[in-house]
């Protein structure tokens, strides 16, 4: 790992600490590197190997953040919005960092798994139209759904405006409840697919992205960091049924 300046390390890893703030911490003698107090702001360290602590508390180095948010209804998947609250505003202080954005969108009234990250490369690989990372949703419908809709979805249906969809999997759970797995992300796609099939979506929750499953313990509006294996499974899993 290339060397990094200590003030850059601190401002990048600590929420709400600017370069100036980092220099203050250093000046006050609150920062140790490998157990030794360091006051030089341009001290060079290996971020992956050096053990940095502030006031005795270890600062774990993370090049990027990968956050699972259980989005509630009424917030939008955007970095900022003049009118509506955004997913970013739900993040607790310790998970905030410059450059975070929602990798993929859910509608304002949809709920469930939203990935927030500052890793543009991973987001690009996940969202690219050629990657087809599966996304699984729990859907509640206005009217009972029939087996023929499974075939329709599997065939790659055409929705309003003549847009052709990739084959999608539909698993019926009860007359008005099902799972749907998409391999792409067109605007309002599931709602439009059911409208085209003569039905209406009344509740939509994303429960899985790639192989990463929404944590059932995570209440709506709450967020946590993804585990290492969950980060890997975001892209690697192609088949989830």
Q: What is the dihedral of CA 139, 215, 103, 160, to 10 degrees?
A: 0
140, 201 contact by CB (below 8 A): yes
| Backbone phi, psi, residue 3, to 5° | -70, 155
Going residue by residue from 27 to 56, which x/- string records binding to ligand URA, judged by CB under 6 A? ------------------------------
Cβ proximity to ligand URA: between 39 and 186 the closer is 186
Cβ proximity to ligand URA: between 71 and 97 the closer is 71
Rounded CA gap, 86 and 71, in Å? 10
Phi-psi region of 149 (alpha: psi -120 to 50; beta: other; left: phi over 0): alpha
Cβ proximity to ligand URA: between 54 and 168 the closer is 168
188, 107 contact by CB (below 8 A): yes
Contact region for ligand URA (CB under 6 A) — 61-69, 106-114, 146-154, 158-166?
106-114
Closest C-alpha among 234, 130, 152, 141 to residue 179: 141
Among 81, 107, 184, 195, binds ligand URA (CB under 6 A): 107
The site that binds ligand URA (CB under 6 A) totals a number of residues, namely 8
Cβ proximity to ligand URA: between 75 and 190 the closer is 190
160 catalytic? Reply is: no
Q: Is residue 106 close enough to count as binding ligand URA by CB under 6 A?
A: yes
Cβ at position 44, least distance to ligand URA in Å: 46
Cβ proximity to ligand URA: between 20 and 158 the closer is 158
Rounded CA gap, 220 and 239, in Å? 26
Work out the angle between the directed axes of helices 228-236 and 120-127 (0-180°, nearest 10): 40
Binding positions for ligand URA, 185-214, rule CB under 6 A: 188-191, 204
Task: State the catalytic residue, choosing from 107, 118, 147, 219.
Answer: 107
Cβ at position 8, least distance to ligand URA in Å: 37
Cβ at position 84, least distance to ligand URA in Å: 15
What the block records as the tokens of 57 is 């508390």
Q: Is residue 97 close enough to count as binding ligand URA by CB under 6 A?
A: no
User: DSSP letter at 63?
Assistant: S
Neighbours of 19 (CB within 10 A): 13
Q: Is residue 184 close enough to count as binding ligand URA by CB under 6 A?
A: no
Residues with catalytic function: 107
Q: List interacting residues with ligand URA (CB under 6 A).
A: 106-107, 110, 188-191, 204
């Amino acid at each position: 790992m290339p060397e990094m300046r200590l003030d850059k390390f601190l401002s990048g890893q600590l929420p709400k600490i600017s370069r100036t703030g980092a220099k203050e911490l250093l000046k006050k003698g609150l920062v140790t590197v490998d157990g030794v107090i360091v006051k030089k702001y341009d001290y060079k360290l290996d971020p992956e190997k050096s053990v940095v602590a502030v006031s005795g508390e270890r600062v774990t180095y993370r090049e990027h953040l990968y956050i699972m948010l259980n989005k509630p209804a009424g917030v939008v998947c955007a970095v900022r919005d003049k009118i509506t609250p955004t997913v970013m505003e739900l993040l607790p202080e310790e998970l905030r960092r410059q450059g975070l954005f929602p990798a993929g969108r859910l509608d304002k009234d949809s709920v469930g798994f939203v990935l927030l990250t500052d890793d543009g490369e991973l987001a690009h690989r996940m969202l690219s139209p050629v990657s087809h990372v599966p996304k699984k949703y729990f859907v509640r419908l206005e009217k009972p759904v029939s087996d023929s809709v499974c075939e329709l979805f599997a065939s790659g249906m055409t929705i309003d405006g003549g847009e052709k969809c990739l084959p999608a999997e539909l698993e019926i759970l009860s007359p008005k409840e099902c799972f749907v797995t998409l391999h792409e992300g067109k605007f309002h796609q599931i709602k439009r697919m059911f409208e085209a099939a003569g039905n209406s979506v009344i509740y939509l929750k994303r429960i899985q992205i790639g192989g990463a499953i929404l944590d059932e313990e995570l209440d709506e509006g709450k967020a946590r960091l993804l585990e290492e294996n969950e980060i890997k499974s975001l892209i690697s899993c192609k088949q989830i049924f």
